[in-house]
Structures are given as C-alpha cells and as structure tokens.
Chains A and B, each alone.
Chain A
Amino acid sequence: DTEVTQTPKHLVMGMTNKKSLKCEQHMGHRAMYWYKQKAKKPPELMFVYSYEKLSINESVPSRFSPECPNSSLLNLHLHALQPEDSALYLCASSQASQGGLVNTIYFGEGSWLTVV
C-alpha cells in the first residue's frame, strides 16, 4: 500500500492545453521525485526536489515544469506537450539524504497521460 498519492490517475490533453499532475505524501519525507515511464521500459528520472528545492533536472524539456509548494506536495505542470510525451508519470518520495545515508524511495501508482 503506497502512501504517495497521485492525481489524476488518467489525463487526456491536447497539444495546446495546460494541465498539471499532482502528488502528495504525508510521511514527512523531504525528498520528492518525478519519473516518466513508457510502455515496457524502465522508469526514467526527471526531477528531484530536496527540502523543497530542485536538486536534479535530468535535462527535461521546458514543457515540463515541476513545482514543490511545500514539503508534502509536488506538482508537474504540463504545457505544449507532444504525443510522444504520453506515458505513465510516477511520483516518489523519501527521507532526504543525510550523511550519505541511503533511504528507501516510495512510489505512487502513477498518472497515465495521453497527449492527443
């Protein structure tokens, strides 16, 4: 049972639309992540937030804009997407890194995005 909640579960949007994916966790985690997963492929890391600040951007196109308004919430704003951006978008969270300690990363169930 995941304690990372993602909404919506399914989203269909046009290439000119602006939409957002939302993620919430109440485990007190201070690191949050966005991953993208295409069918039959492994998840690909997109962004990492640590203490509400963006710490990793894996060269993601600017049509994807992450936002971390507080320690429990993570958004992914979508604008001018392409059909090839259709995928499962996974949010995850963990304790923030301290002294090199490796913490378990917990994933949500994902948001299925279809761009038409």
Chain B
Amino acid sequence: LAKTTQPISMDSYEGQEVNITCSHNNIATNDYITWYQQFPSQGPRFIIQGYKTKVTNEVASLFIPADRKSSTLSLPRVSLSDTAVYYCLVRTGANNLFFGTGTRLTVIP
C-alpha cells in the first residue's frame, strides 16, 4: 500500500500561488497520483490526477518528477474560498482510494 506524506497545514495570503508537495516513495509502476479537496461537512471533490510530468486543468496544476516519488499540487492565485483540506492519494488499484492525512490550507485575507 503506497503511503503518502504531506504537510499537516499551510497558510497563504489571498492572491498567492500555493504549492503543496506530497511524497510517495513506494509508488508502484501502475499507480496514479490523485488530489482531492474537502470543505467542512462536505464530501471530497476531485481536483486533478496524473501519472507523470505535468497535468493542468482549469483549477490546478500537478507536477510529477521523473522518479514519481513526489508530486506537487499548484493552486494559482488562491482566494478565501480555497480554504480546505487537500488530500494527496496514490491509487493502489483502479477501484479503491485510500486517503492520507491531508493538508489543511488556510487562506488569509
């Protein structure tokens, strides 16, 4: 079971770019890296997923180095509404999803 490690919490000012790094040293060849966002009292929401190099969508970018032992979620110009818990996950199989401890991001005005 691939274990992920990410910072417990981060603070950022509004308008700044936020980078959250996750380490997954024992990622398997077929594993994908997935990030979810969760607001209090809501279900997790899919943000982005990737296998290698860089993936970008309308919400975030995901950077994965060649060795795939870590990944970085980049949130451009955060706002107060981005305050949430961000989970980095490594898919250990196609039909399951195990969550790590997550990073609590607080955006400050």
Contact = CB atoms under 8 A, between A and B. Distances in A.
Contacts of A104: 46, 49
The bracket for how many chain A residues form the interface is 20 to 34
Interface in B60-109: 87, 91, 93-102
A88 B34 CA distance: 22
A4 B46 CA distance: 13
A104 B49 CA distance: 8
A110 B30 CA distance: 30
Nearest to B46: A104
Contact of B44 (A45, A96, A103, A107): A107
A97 B94 contact: yes
Contacts, number: 58
Given A104-B46, A110-B43, A45 B96 contact: yes
Contacts of A108: 43
A55 B95 CA distance: 9
Contacts of B42: 109-110
B43 A109 contact: yes
Nearest to B43: A107
Nearest to B42: A109
Contacts of B96: 33, 45, 48, 56
Contacts of B30: 100
Contact of B97 (A45, A50, A55, A96): A45
25 contacts: A2-B45, A42-B87, A42-B102, A44-B99, A45-B97, A45-B98, A48-B95, A50-B95, A97-B93, A98-B94, A100-B30, A101-B94, A102-B34, A102-B91, A102-B94, A103-B94, A104-B46, A104-B49, A105-B46, A105-B97, A106-B46, A107-B43, A107-B44, A108-B43, A110-B41
